[in-house]
Amino acid sequence: MLICCKKSANTTGSTSTNTSSDTTYNTLYIPPTLTGTSFNLALGKSSKQFFTGATTQTYSYNGLPFWGPTLIFNKGDNVSFNITNNLTDTTTLHWHGFHIPAIMDGGPHQKIAPGATWSPHFTVMNNASTFWFHPHLHEKTYEQITMGAGGLIIVKDPIESALNLPRTYGTDDIPLVLTSRRFNSDISFNTNVNDYGDYLLANGTLNPQISLPKQYVRFRILNAEIERAYNLGFSDGRTFYVISNDGGLLDAPVGVTRVVLGVGERVEILVNLGGDNVGSSLKLMSYNSNQTFGYPGGESSQSGALGSLLNNKDFEVLKINVAAANAQAITSIPTKLTTNTTLTAADATSNISTSITAGQGGSEFAFDNNNYNYVTINHKIPLNTTVKWTFVNSNVFGHSIHIHDIQFKIVSRSSGAIQNYEQGWKDTFFLHLGETVSVVAKFDDFADATNPFMYHCHFPNHEDAGLMGQFIVTP
Ligand code: C2O
Ligand code: CU
């Protein structure tokens, strides 16, 4: 464990991490953007100084220190890429949330050998929202994501652009990628299969702070963790507004004081700083104390593979220092955002049921008793079928379930109501321990008799261990 650093003080005694008055804050890193229709991304080794006096080896795209550039796409554009692998290990690059052909999806089958370049292209069909890209090589996803490989994607479209919303990137429209890492004593990343990191990183920044203008501010938040869920809220309990989740805008802003974000999920929120005094500060927190078992990061242990210094705590995510309003201040929010088409259980023309079970060879987690393998096609879905897909979790822990290709509607949660902020289009949802959740989606494009799409737990360690399956959309 940490022995060299000031931060190690947090490992003893205190029950509240990152909230002591002597915390040294670092300015939140804002990843640079890449725009246009043709993009070059090169994954390679890099490094970043997280702690004074020590450098940590990382992986990143385009030589950035940790975590890649933010790609900005316009709906309707034809985009193309050169993805170069400068690692000594094979990788892939997956477009999380995108509705694109399986062969372009960057799942485990679209391998990029060391030194090779993969050149996918697709039409951006998704609505405006926040997406991401990350490696997806089976049994290497945990390691490559842990080392820092990933990046955000912002899609813009005419409906979102016509709304009076904050959208000046880095000024009042803030990307916020949440994860955590465990460090070895030499401050290298600990890449043993840990479920949790010990130190929160927001865009790769330890103890982050940001100055934000005294007006409505938007955050695009991605949970890029290994397992931890975030129960987000502000330190003064103020109401904030969810305007978008995984697949696009909600019909109208949803006022909340907490939003739970599982691994792989995104939300866009608006928070009003217009009533705050210039010079005051506010904290975005994760209220992870006293969760029921099965909530990832609620465990009481502080160390070991299932433990973390952040477990079962309310911890600080971002310190916000309020500065003067700017000239383009957004001072109110729209009451109506978009009109999403409804898709209900009654629209389904076929059903799939998937259970979380144990697998072979001591695997703790598998779908329907079978560990993932490259050749088994678990489901064949005829083109234009509307499927109600039910996930049953009577196994030992909660999971974050992601389906490639489609955006779906959550139509039932056996544990109770679907949260208002989970309405709209989703590609990932948290599946509680003991819960059954059904989603409905239409598979109306990209029939391909041979190239499969993945569905899996988005905890990279679970996915690598076999909690993944694949389907083809048949002509
Ligand atoms: Cu975020 Cu199968 O991926
Ligand atoms: Cu899982």
Query: pLDDT tens-digit profile of 102-120?
Result: 999 999 999 999 999 999 9
User: Among the atoms of ligand 1, which is closest to the Cα of residue 456?
Assistant: 2
Q: What is the pTM of this model?
A: 0.95
At residue 383, does pLDDT exceed 60?
A: yes
Structure tokens of 87?
A: 């690692």
Second CATH level (architecture) for the domain 29-159:
Sandwich (2.60)
Structure tokens of 274?
A: 């217009």
Q: How many CB atoms lie within 10 A of CB 69?
A: 18
> Could you tell me if the CB of 134 is within 6 A of ligand 1?
yes
Q: What's the pLDDT band for 470 if we cut at 50, 70, 90?
A: very high
* CA–CA dist 122, 411 (Å, integer): 30
Q: What pLDDT score was predicted for residue 361?
A: 85
| Residue listed under structure tokens 């005094």 | 277
> Dihedrals φ, ψ of 421, to 5°?
-80, -5
What is the third-level CATH fold of 345-474?
A: Immunoglobulin-like (2.60.40)
> Could you tell me if the CB of 462 is within 6 A of ligand 1?
no
User: Among the atoms of ligand 1, which is closest to the Cα of residue 468?
Assistant: 2
**Residue 262 contacts residue 223 (beta carbons within 8 Å):** yes
> Could you tell me if the CB of 263 is within 6 A of ligand 1?
no
Q: How close is the Cα of 462 to the center of ligand 2, in Å? A: 5
CA count, 13 A, side-chain hemisphere, 341: 8
For ligand 1, atom 1, the nearest C-alpha belongs to: 96
Encode pLDDT of 229-261 as tens digits: 999 999 999 999 999 999 999 999 999 999 999
173-323 and 345-474: same fold?
Answer: yes
Contacts of 40 (CB under 8 A, 6+ apart): 62, 81, 82, 84
In whole numbers, what is the pLDDT of the chain averaged over residues? 94
Structure tokens of 60?
A: 């990143």
* CA–CA dist 459, 399 (Å, integer): 7
Q: How close is the Cα of 399 to the center of ligand 2, in Å? A: 4
Angle at 300 between CA 456 and CA 399, to 5 degrees: 10
Encode pLDDT of 288-313 as tens digits: 999 999 999 999 999 998 999 999 99
At residue 350, does pLDDT exceed 60?
A: yes
Q: How close is the Cα of 288 to the center of ligand 1, in Å? A: 24
> Could you tell me if the CB of 137 is within 6 A of ligand 1?
no
Q: What pLDDT score was predicted for residue 14?
A: 34
Q: How close is the Cα of 402 to the center of ligand 1, in Å? A: 6
Q: What pLDDT score was predicted for residue 362?
A: 82
What is the third-level CATH fold of 173-323?
A: Immunoglobulin-like (2.60.40)
Query: What string of DSSP letters covers 203-232?
Result: TTEESEEEEEESSEEEEEEEE--SS--EEE
* CA–CA dist 37, 137 (Å, integer): 25
**Residue 128 contacts residue 265 (beta carbons within 8 Å):** no
> Dihedrals φ, ψ of 253, to 5°?
-60, 140
Encode pLDDT of 159-193 as tens digits: 999 999 999 999 999 999 999 999 999 999 999 98
CA distances for 126 relative to 145, 251, 427, angstroms:
24, 16, 12
Range scoring the smallest mean pLDDT among 161-165, 182-186, 202-206, 359-363: 359-363
Length of the chain, in residues: 475
Q: How close is the Cα of 44 to the center of ligand 1, in Å? A: 20
Q: Where are the domains of the chain?
A: 29-159, 173-323, 345-474
Residues around the ion ligand 2 (C-beta < 5 A): 399, 457, 459, 462
User: Among the atoms of ligand 1, which is closest to the Cα of residue 97?
Assistant: 1
